[in-house]
Amino acid sequence: MTDGQSLLVPGSPAWWAARHGRAEPTRRVPVTLDRIITGALDLIDREGLGALSMRNLAAELQTGTTTLYRYVSGKDEVLVLVADTVLGEAQLPRALEGLGWREVLRELAFSMRTVLSSHPSVAALIATAVPVGPNSLRARELILGVLRERGFDRTLAADVYTMLAHLVLASVLQEPMRDFRAGGLGASKSLTLRDFYRSLPAGQYPHLVALADALTSRTAAEEFEFGLGCLLDGVEVRLPQAQTRRHRPRNTTSEA
Amino acid sequence: MTDGQSLLVPGSPAWWAARHGRAEPTRRVPVTLDRIITGALDLIDREGLGALSMRNLAAELQTGTTTLYRYVSGKDEVLVLVADTVLGEAQLPRALEGLGWREVLRELAFSMRTVLSSHPSVAALIATAVPVGPNSLRARELILGVLRERGFDRTLAADVYTMLAHLVLASVLQEPMRDFRAGGLGASKSLTLRDFYRSLPAGQYPHLVALADALTSRTAAEEFEFGLGCLLDGVEVRLPQAQTRRHRPRNTTSEA
DNA sequence: CTAGTTTGGGTACAGTGTTCCCATGGCAGG
DNA sequence: CCTGCCATGGGAACACTGTACCCAAACTAG
């Protein structure tokens, strides 16, 4: 299709606007790799992963579709670059030295989770492909370094890193389903997940009905907090030197 | 395309074969929902998620594309049905009563992981959509019941279930990347992940280079085993009654 | 001013999900 | 017997997708 509006045909309003707009006179913004990546990320965050097509991306950048292929080998490469860019948004090397391994791991895991959580659709990209971009490698390197310097042996450091990555990934992946509506047969009857659990036959699924609230009232961050705490406690048990300064866990609340 | 071979034009070899083949005379196998689901699952397992298109699926079932839409509202529904079918392949209610919560959770988590691991591509379906099919609900109900009957309060049961689900999901999702080859610029230089880590600049990524073996020598099941152990230990700490029969963890091996 | 190299992009092809509409076949009613 | 019906099967078409080929515009070097 010719798209009509994105072309700057002389005499058209868009042409005039570009001609004596208040900004710099060169309205033809050059295409760069960065513009492609940020444009793709914007498009994904705004309209979801499914909305990212090479044509849409080209339209977003006000250029032609095939132009993108001058900077990128294909859509796959765009996705890889976007994923690594997001991973790079986490500012990891904050104040770090004085803290014990628990605090550092908490800090790192949470900042990774936060940055991925702000680009929900991107998590799926990272989940199904080994992230080998520089930002991803830097993060891995940093976490492994923290573990080694705190006395973890090689296998334990690798195992703990893998578990942390798994935990972060799963938490972020499952987060968008929090606002899930079930039963879309008609537009009228859309249930929230909690009401869906409540509406199940109590004879068949007694616990799902009874735990409808418990299963759906947690924030994704709270769930992550819980899982991270469990994992770190488990790691503490596995440390060779029994340098276990005991600490009292705090969320075993019993509700009404 | 007309496909030529799947059409039984009278007089063609295929027609004759169907006419007096050694099997039953009715060669036109009727299309059913079950055939669609199992066909889709076969296709996914055999050639990956990307190979599942409505046309491919129709060809697999030796029928026309639009016929599928008589039984299914679209591709999304096929995927949902496939996901729930896979979830249903886990035989969960094995011998269960005598065991403590640790053993039961291990058993259930492992069997879920095993069944998902045998259909690697399907895990991605479950990760990005709330599974609300009957088999999925049955599994959730069973696990929650186990937890409640073993003395977990409502929130703790829900939290622990969520963590287990996350762990299983992430483990299965990351499993296919185990046979990942990096650096596919040319067909000549395809590195395994371990060699990729080894080939990194040691000045920039010292720990990644040093831990190349540790990061890649684990089986997915072993990693899962480790994570599950950590998690269960963490859960044990959070149990209200300090019914902690201590047990010695066993994998803090220090390698060469 | 010309030659050449980079950058931008229209057209085209194969493949996707989905819908419209027509053909076929078995079965009930006359 | 023939006739009409209706659920099932499927061809053609539409609006997309990623990508390759090839041509036009623009800028740079001589």
pLDDT tens per residue across span B77-101: 999 999 999 999 997 766 677 888 9
- Reply yes or no on whether the pLDDT at A12 is more than 70: no
Summarised one tens digit per residue, pLDDT across range A84-126 is: 999 999 987 666 778 889 999 999 999 999 999 999 999 999 9
Q: Could you give the count of Cα atoms lying within 13 Å of B242 in the half-sphere of its Cβ?
A: 2
Specify the amino acid at residue A148: R
Give the lowest-confidence range in A30-39, B19-28, B185-194: B19-28
Output B250 or A53, whichever has higher pLDDT. Answer: A53
Q: For C19, which residue's CA is nearest its C1'?
A: B66
Predicted model pTM: 0.84
Give strand C nucleotides closer than 7 A to any protein Cβ. Answer: 7-12, 15-21
Statement: residue A147 has pLDDT above 70: yes
Distance from CA of A163 to the nearest CA of B (A): 6
Which among B21, B255, B140, B14 is positioned nearest to A197, based on CA atoms?
B140
Helix (H, G, I), strand (E, B) or coil at B26: coil
The reply to whether B238 touches chain A by the CB within 8 Å rule is yes
Mean predicted confidence (pLDDT) in A50-79: 95
Min mean pLDDT across A36-45, A180-189, B82-91 is at A180-189
**B40 within 8 A of B78, measured Cβ to Cβ:** yes
Provide the terminal-to-terminal Cα distance of chain B, rounded to the nearest Å.
60
Tell me how close the Cα of B171 comes to any Cα of chain A, in angstroms. 7
> Cα-atom radius of gyration of chain A, to the nearest Å?
24
CA A137 to C1' C5, in angstroms, rounded, equals 36
Residue A71 half-sphere exposure, CB side, CA atoms within 13 Å?
17
pLDDT of residue A59: 95
**What pLDDT, on the 0 to 100 scale, is given for residue B179?**
79
Q: Which of the four pLDDT bands, split at 50, 70 and 90, describes residue B252?
A: very low
Residues in A 191-220 with any Cβ partner in B closer than 8 A: 193, 196, 200, 204-208, 210-211, 213-215, 218
CA distances from residue A22 to A9, A39, A61 in whole angstroms, order as listed: 19, 23, 20
Inform me whether the C-beta atom of residue A226 falls under 8 Å from chain B C-beta atoms.
Answer: yes
pLDDT above 90 (res B9): no
